[in-house]
Amino acid sequence: MKKLTLSILLLVFLMSCKTQQISLGLSEQKFTREHHYATRMELSVYRTVYLDNQTTEFYYFKDSKLYKMNHGFTPYGATKPQPTR
């Protein structure tokens, strides 16, 4: 009985944990509000690129909507990744 109660409590706890969901189409405003540690790497007429300093992943926005995510690329001789084109 004790194990069953503990298992149920653990299940309820795990189901109640909130995870951050990032999906294509996410607004840039919501992204910057939830990822205040992200650094803007590029700002142009065509797109805005943010680098998540915790995961080293790049997030690409066009018309204030997320359209691409990746880890960029590291040019030969460089130590840090760069956003893709």
The answer as to whether 4 is a domain residue is no
- Residue 53's pLDDT band, with cuts at 50, 70 and 90, is confident
Answer yes or no: pTM beyond 0.75.
Answer: no
Tokens 């995510």 — which residue? 69
CB of 19 within 8 A of CB of 6?
Answer: no
Note the pLDDT of residue 39.
93
d(CA 76, CA 58): 19
Number of compact structural domains in the chain: 1
What residues are paired with 58 via a beta bridge? 51, 70
The answer as to whether 52 is a domain residue is yes
- Residue 11's pLDDT band, with cuts at 50, 70 and 90, is low
- Domain of 37, in residue numbers: 30-74
pLDDT at 65 over 80: yes
Note the pLDDT of residue 7.
66
What residues are paired with 51 via a beta bridge? 39, 58
Q: CA angle, corner 45, sides to 55 and 49, nearest 5?
A: 0
Quick one: what percent of the chain has pLDDT higher than 90? Answer: 47
- For the chain, the average pLDDT equals 84
The answer as to whether 68 is a domain residue is yes
Q: Which helix H or strand E contains 13, and what residues bound it?
A: helix 2-16
